[in-house]
Structures are given as C-alpha cells and as structure tokens.
Amino acid sequence: MGVLEVKNVGKRFGGLQALGNVNLSVKENTVHAIIGPNGAGKSTLLNCLIGKLIPDTGSVMFDGQSVLGRKPHEINQMGISRVFQTPEIFGDLTVFENVMIPIFAKRDGAFRMHAYESVSNERDITEAAERMLEDVNMLDKRHVQASSLSRGDKRRLEMAMCLSQEPKLLLLDEPTAGMARADTNNTIDLLKEIKAKRNITMAIIEHDMHVVFSLAERITVLAQGTPLVEDTPANIKGHPKVREAYLGEAH
C-alpha cells in the first residue's frame, strides 16, 4: 500500500479524454516520477492530486483518506507540500519569515489568532527555521527580501519552505522547467542532497528525461491520458513501448 493511491481516475474536458483510468501508487520513501510527452495528461493528473480539479471517475487516497473535493490548505495539512514550476514564495517577506510561515502552519493549523504573541518569542519556530536555512545553505541570506533572490535561490527557498513542514509527500511540478542546464543540474544536486539527508517521499512530474533518470527510483510513463508502464529507471530506459511513445518522438 503506497502513501498516495490513485485508482481508476478519469477526467474529460468536453470531447477530450484528458485522463482515462489512471492507476498509480507512490510508495513510502521513494522518488516516483511521472513522465510523458506534452499533452499526456501530467498537469491534469497533478491538478487532480492537489484538489484543483475533481476527476469524473475514480479515487485519490492519501494516507488512507480521500483528497477529492478538499481545499488546497486542507490537502497541505494532510501532509502534501507542493513545489511549483516557477517558485511560489512570499516575495515581500524576508527569507527567514518565508521559512517560519510553513512551520507555523504545521504547528498551529490552518488558522490561529495569535495576534498578541511576538514572533521573536516563538523560540521553537525560529530555531527550526534557522536549522532549515542552514540545511539549504541560506542562513546568511535570512534578512534578504525574498523577491530579490536569484532564481536558483528562490527555488532553494521554496524547497526549504516545503521541507520545513516535514511533509509525508513532496509534490514537484516540473521543478526545472525553463531552466538553463547549469540551473537544472543545481536543482538536481539539491534534490539529491535532500534525498540523501532525509527519508522523504517525492512525486515528480517532469518533462526532462535527464532530471528524471538522475533522481527517480520508480517511473510511470503517461501517454494520452493513460499509464503506459511503471518500472525502475533501468527498465524504462530500454522499454520498447516507451521508446516508441516518448523517446522516439524526442529524437
């Protein structure tokens, strides 16, 4: 039984069958990649996982509970954190505050009226945030306003924000889309580093094969809205069906 269980999920947009009968199981402590050519239904699947879309058929279970119809903040409170294509951070706030907010959210839930305490007195939160920033080598930038960070640092910060919540599942939506080769490699290194330091379950939706093969332990190949194969990277590489549907096209 995986952390995330997707069963028979289907979604239609008018006449277009975007997803048809998708089954997927993300096991604990694995990095699971979902790949596929453009239009394979990766984004639709992701949106079903995070509650943005409700599938026509099937179920999405996380940790034994259904995520369907829940609001984004509820899904996060269940233990899913999400990294976006372009880093979504609190640009007006400092790096330090950016990391504190998710830790507060983890501790206090979706809303708490803590209007009379002082942030600086919340020792456990500030210390946890400092540790997290140290972990991603950003402690020296703690007082910098987040919007003035470089793109690479924004990605790093967003990752730190997600990890600080110690999520049961980290969802990454094309984390290297639109990045230069060097930045992509940096991101891969960052993810590898994270993987090495802590036991974490990750689901990566990705277009770039280089990223997928450097990180993933399991790969699901999606084509025309249905899973083609699911296997280890080694087996996927040589798989004739995948070659035909995906790599063949890429050449």
**Which positions touch another protein (CB under 8 A)?**
50, 71-73, 76-77, 81-82, 84, 88-94, 97, 100-102, 104-106, 108-122, 125, 143-145, 148, 161, 165
Nearer to another protein, 126 or 185 (CB): 126
Residue 170 region by backbone torsions, left for phi larger than 0, else alpha for psi between -120 and 50, else beta: beta
Q: Helices marked H in the chain — which ranges? A: 42-49, 72-78, 95-108, 123-135, 151-163, 181-197, 209-215, 233-238, 240-242, 248-250
Nearer to another protein, 165 or 187 (CB): 165
How far is it, in rounded angstroms, from Cα 135 to Cα 129?
A: 10
Nearer to another protein, 6 or 89 (CB): 89
Least distance in Å: CB of 104 to another protein? 5
Nearer to another protein, 68 or 93 (CB): 93
Residue keyed to tokens 């239609």 = 12
Cα angle 192, 198, 199 (rounded to 5 degrees) comes to: 100
CB 22 within 8 A of CB 45: yes
Least distance in Å: CB of 162 to another protein? 9
Least distance in Å: CB of 94 to another protein? 6
Least distance in Å: CB of 172 to another protein? 13
Nearer to another protein, 108 or 244 (CB): 108
Least distance in Å: CB of 108 to another protein? 8
Beta bridge partners of 181: none
